[in-house]
Amino acid sequence: MYMQIDPVEAWERLRASRSDRPGRASSGARAKTYTTALEQAQQMFKAAEVVGPQTRPLLVFYGLSQAGRAIAAAAVDLKGEDWNLNSHGIHASGYHMDFADIEIRTDPVGTAGSFVRLSQLLQSPVWGNDTVVRLEEVWDTLPGNLQYPLTDRKRFTPLYASTDVITGIDFHPLLTVHVGNFLDRVVDAGSRTALDEFLQNYPGAAGYEDFVRRGPGADAEPTFERHQPNAGWLSIHWRMPAEKGTQEERLERLSSMTRPYAGHRYFFPAVTGLSRELHPLMAWWALLYALSMLARYQPAQWAHHINVDNSQRAVPIEKILEQAMEHLPVLIADTIEHVAA
């Protein structure tokens, strides 16, 4: 599935919003924070374009952090002083362990740290100090990382939800979604059991009714289509609520099950220990925070990880930092439009 990303157009949208400020950023202190924070974010992203991976995560993360302040300033659901973010609200440790096993924790629910406040705004989980989230698990929740695994452990990566089969179908009792990017281990197993076990990690996919089968009968196995490695497809059915079934209602049902990402919709996996999936903007936030803290406070270890002559993680890290600069402006612009509506 080809993902069309245009960061230049996204920055144009963001710059245009500074004179026609959205949501609660229309006036006063919120307006000033909105415009200044977006200018700082854009300057940091531009600076990140001309440096290498040694310092790029620092600039990209703090650019995202400032954009987060603009998101909070525009958000209609943040009233009083709740829009005024304080501290990071997220922590990383375990840098002495394998890169994939770096540990990420958050401040408790209800605190004013940026990560916590924005996560609650976007209905994304926070997990406090008692639960440990591994960097690899957050890494795997981002759509662009399908072909860039950190280890050979079992992965759960986003599933693409195509809206093509919804078009033109009204008042059918089932919502049919063509779901893509099933990993090879699920396609190779080819069984209902393997499919069920896999989809248990995707909260939005819960309660599906059925799927396209290889033959007649309730015991027939799913019909996967393989387009390329780790890109199996399967048409899956969910039951529509009674007396609902217009095309608009079917798209609303799909929207309630998935999250948007750069013009497309995905079923995102829930990280181990969390009740639901991370909002993609907050997944980027957690990942870039961990990378920026590693680069800032453990520069020798960071230099080892990004050394293409010695580290197998170097190219995946380079790739994800490139994707951050391309994808995040779009996600930021889309998120501002969402929270300001």
Q: What is the DSSP string of 121-188?
A: HTT----TTTS-EEHHHHHHTSGGGTT--SSSS-----EEEE-GGGTT--S-SEEEEEEEEE-HHHHH
Tell me, what's the pLDDT at 160?
A: 96
User: Region 309-333: what's the mean pLDDT?
Assistant: 97
Closest Cα to residue 186, out of 156, 146, 143, 151? 156
Last residue of a domain, one of 249, 267, 285: 267
Q: Is there a domain that residue 243 lies in?
A: yes
Domain assignment of residue 2, yes or no: no
Least confidently predicted of 24-28, 86-90, 244-248: 244-248
At 226 the three-state DSSP class reads strand
Rounded to an integer, what distance in angstroms lies between the CA atom of residue 21 and that of residue 14? 10
Q: Same domain for 234 and 299?
A: no
- Is 118 contained in some domain? yes
Percent of the chain with pLDDT over 70: 98
For residues 254 and 181, membership in a common domain is answered with yes
Are residues 11 and 142 both part of a single domain? yes
Q: Is residue 2 very low, low, confident or very high in pLDDT (cuts 50, 70, 90)? A: low
- 112 with 207, same domain: the answer is no
**Domain boundary at 267, 298, 315, which?**
267
Residue 1 lies in a domain: no
Q: Which residue has the higher pLDDT, 251 or 98?
A: 98
Average pLDDT, the chain: 94
> Do 143 and 16 share a structural domain?
yes
pLDDT given for residue 134 in this prediction: 97
Q: What is the mean predicted confidence (pLDDT) over 81-106?
A: 96
Residue 82 has pLDDT above 90, yes or no: yes
The verdict on residue 131 lying in a domain is yes
In a domain, 173, yes or no: yes
The answer to whether residue 154 sits within a structural domain is no
pLDDT tens per residue, range 194-218: 999 999 999 999 999 899 888 887 7
Looking at the fold, whether 234 and 290 belong to one and the same domain comes out as no
Expressed as residue numbers, the domain containing 42 is: 7-149+273-340
Binned at pLDDT 50, 70 and 90, residue 171 comes out as low
What is the H or E stretch that residue 265 is in? Answer: strand 264-267
Buried b (16+ CB within 10 A) or exposed e, 150-162: beeeebbbbbbbb
Closest alpha carbon to 238 in 267, 212, 209, 202: 209
> What are the pLDDT digits (tens) for 228-249?
888 899 999 999 888 777 888 8
95 and 56 in one domain? yes
In sequence order, the β-bridge partners of residue 250 are: none
Q: How far apart are CA 218 and CA 321, in angstroms?
A: 46
Q: Do residues 251 and 285 share a domain?
A: no
- Which range, 170-174, 182-186, 223-227, 229-233, is most confident? 182-186
The pLDDT of residue 165 is above 80: no
116 touches 108 (CB < 8 A): yes
Q: Is residue 169 over pLDDT 70?
A: no
DSSP letter, residue 222: B
Residue with tokens 């996600």: 331
Q: What is the band of 288 on the pLDDT scale with cuts at 50, 70, 90?
A: very high
| Whether residue 176 is found in the same domain as residue 299 | no
Using the 3D structure, point to which of 228, 250, 267 is the last residue of a domain. Answer: 267
More confident residue, 245 or 299: 299
What is the rounded distance in angstroms from the CA atom of residue 151 to the CA atom of residue 136?
Answer: 8
Pair of tokens at residue 210: 């059925």
Banded pLDDT at 170 (limits 50, 70, 90): low
Domain count for the chain: 2
186 and 229 in a single domain? The answer is yes
Q: Are residues 246 and 277 in the same domain?
A: no
Residues 30 and 143 in one domain: yes
pLDDT of 185 > 70? The answer is yes
Has residue 38 been placed in a domain?
yes
Q: Note the pLDDT of residue 167.
A: 58
> What is residue 77's predicted lDDT score, i.e. its pLDDT?
97
Extract the tokens encoding 324.
């951050």
**Would you say residue 272 has pLDDT above 70?**
yes
Answer for the pair 141, 278: CB distance below 8 angstroms, yes or no. Answer: yes
Contact 161, 204 (CB under 8 A): no
